[in-house]
């Protein structure tokens, strides 16, 4: 099935450090079976980990706390008028000099588009709001920005921002160790909000402050500025793929992700970024990966056979979902019927000496680029 395409891929890999292959899909239509975000809360007398729901923030029309000050965009004008509002021209987002009891302390222009703005109040609570331009919507983009300088990854969870036109995926930490971080991928833009306190604050206050900031900066409006093209590209890396006996199976897993996203995730969500945070997508990808390896298992290298055997064990005993949850540090959206038996999995994993890692990003990236491509 993949013979001609894979021959083409291998030819590219001998010439380039990576190969970018456009994947042409049929005309996009809204899926009739879009993903639900409400999950079962009935344990049914089992030790399964369930009851997860996605934190969803709805667009709020009256969330504008902008004071009626003069607004400038250049450093010279801001220096002459330090208490004026600042407008970030690439996005049109306005950073007020003051809101509630917070005062703007610093504006850091990283380049012509990227920016960080810091606020603080008299209680020692600081807020850093960052806007990054990134029109390479890879399947690992959201995690890349979220992991940066973040020590609370294992306690974090997915979140979504919902407007009439777009649904925007994000990742968020709880307010722990006096810090909270939220990151959304918004088409060609990344929105990051980090709140830090010098002492233990009321967590409800921090959560409400975070929600107020999210609603004001409105991730969906950032998607609208430059939504992504839904015709994906696959980028395979020569360093890890040359002469690899896994190439056909990896190609199958990538295509399974692309197809699953198209069939199960609404266009208004995919325009914001490739939806790589669904557990079911990763399960289907591994199942396709194993299906292709099964046909060639006798010709696999020793290392590839080890990977195949352990993944097959996980599949046979029904622990693929638990394995993927662990590999992705719990930063996945569970389907309505998903069940995770983490305690049983940990013991079974130990008993069966499961030691493999699963990270397709070292082999390939799936990319949605902006509509200018």
The model carries a pTM of 0.82
Over residues 17-29, mean pLDDT: 44
Q: Identify whether residues 324 and 275 lie together within a single domain.
A: yes
Least confident of 70-84, 151-165, 242-256: 70-84
Q: For residue 153, what pLDDT is reported?
A: 65
Task: Tell me the pLDDT tens digit for each residue of 306-348.
Answer: 999 999 999 999 999 999 999 998 999 998 888 899 899 999 9
Q: Identify whether residues 33 and 172 lie together within a single domain.
A: no
Q: Identify whether residues 98 and 38 lie together within a single domain.
A: no
The residue out of 225, 257, 291 marking a domain boundary is 225
Q: What is the mean pLDDT of the chain?
A: 83
Least confident of 30-34, 104-108, 124-128, 194-198: 30-34
Task: Tell me the pLDDT tens digit for each residue of 123-133.
Answer: 999 999 999 99
pLDDT band at 228; cut points 50, 70, 90:
very high
Q: For residue 81, what pLDDT is reported?
A: 82
Q: Identify whether residues 218 and 72 lie together within a single domain.
A: yes
pLDDT at 56 over 60: yes
The residue out of 176, 204, 225 marking a domain boundary is 225
Q: For residue 21, what pLDDT is reported?
A: 46
Q: For residue 51, what pLDDT is reported?
A: 40
Q: How many domains does the chain have?
A: 2
Q: Identify whether residues 245 and 363 lie together within a single domain.
A: yes
Q: For residue 80, what pLDDT is reported?
A: 77
Helices (H), the chain: 3-15, 75-80, 141-147, 203-217, 219-225, 238-241, 247-264, 267-270, 279-295, 302-316, 320-327, 342-351
pLDDT band at 31; cut points 50, 70, 90:
very low
pLDDT band at 5; cut points 50, 70, 90:
low
Residue 104: give its domain's CATH number.
3.40.1000
| N-to-C CA span, the chain | 29
Contact 171, 182 (CB under 8 A): yes
CB within 8 A of 84, min separation 6: which ones?
69, 70, 71, 72, 77, 78, 97
pLDDT band at 243; cut points 50, 70, 90:
low
The residue out of 185, 200, 225 marking a domain boundary is 225
Q: Identify whether residues 26 and 119 lie together within a single domain.
A: no
C-alpha span between 140 and 135 (Å, rounded): 13
Q: Residue 74's domain spans which residues?
A: 56-225
Q: For residue 38, what pLDDT is reported?
A: 30
């Amino acid at each position: 099935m993949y013979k001609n395409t894979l021959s083409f891929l291998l030819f590219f890999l001998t010439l380039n450090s990576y190969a970018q292959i456009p994947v042409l899909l049929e005309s996009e239509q809204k899926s009739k079976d879009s993903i639900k975000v409400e999950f079962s809360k009935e344990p049914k007398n089992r030790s399964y980990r369930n009851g997860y729901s996605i934190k969803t923030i709805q667009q709020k029309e009256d969330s504008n706390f902008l004071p009626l000050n003069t607004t400038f965009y250049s450093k010279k004008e801001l220096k002459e008028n330090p208490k004026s509002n600042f407008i970030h021209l690439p996005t049109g987002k306005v950073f007020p000099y003051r809101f509630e009891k917070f005062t703007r302390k610093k504006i850091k222009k990283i380049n012509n588009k990227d920016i960080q703005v810091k606020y603080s109040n008299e209680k020692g609570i600081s807020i850093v709001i960052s806007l990054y331009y990134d029109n390479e919507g890879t399947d690992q983009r959201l995690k890349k920005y979220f992991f940066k300088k973040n020590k609370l990854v294992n306690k974090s969870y997915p979140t979504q921002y919902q407007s009439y036109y777009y649904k925007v995926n994000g990742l968020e930490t709880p307010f722990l160790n006096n810090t909270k971080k939220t990151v959304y991928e918004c088409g060609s833009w990344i929105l990051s909000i980090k709140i830090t306190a010098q002492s233990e604050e009321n967590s409800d206050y921090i959560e409400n402050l975070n929600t107020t900031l999210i609603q004001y900066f409105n991730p969906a409006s950032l998607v609208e500025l430059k939504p992504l093209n839904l015709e994906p590209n696959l980028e395979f890396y020569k360093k890890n793929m040359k002469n690899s006996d896994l190439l056909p199976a990896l190609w199958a897993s990538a295509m399974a992700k692309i197809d699953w996203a198209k069939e199960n995730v609404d266009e208004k969500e995919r325009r914001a970024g490739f939806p790589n945070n669904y557990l079911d997508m990763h399960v289907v990808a591994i199942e396709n990966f194993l299906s292709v390896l099964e046909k060639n298992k006798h010709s696999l290298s020793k290392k590839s056979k080890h990977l195949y055997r352990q993944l097959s064990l996980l599949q046979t005993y029904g622990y693929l979902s638990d394995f993927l949850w662990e590999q992705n540090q719990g930063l996945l959206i569970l389907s309505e019927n998903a069940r995770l038996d983490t305690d049983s999995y940990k013991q079974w994993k130990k008993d069966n000496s499961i030691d493999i890692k699963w990270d397709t990003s070292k082999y390939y990236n799936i990319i949605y680029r902006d509509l200018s491509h």
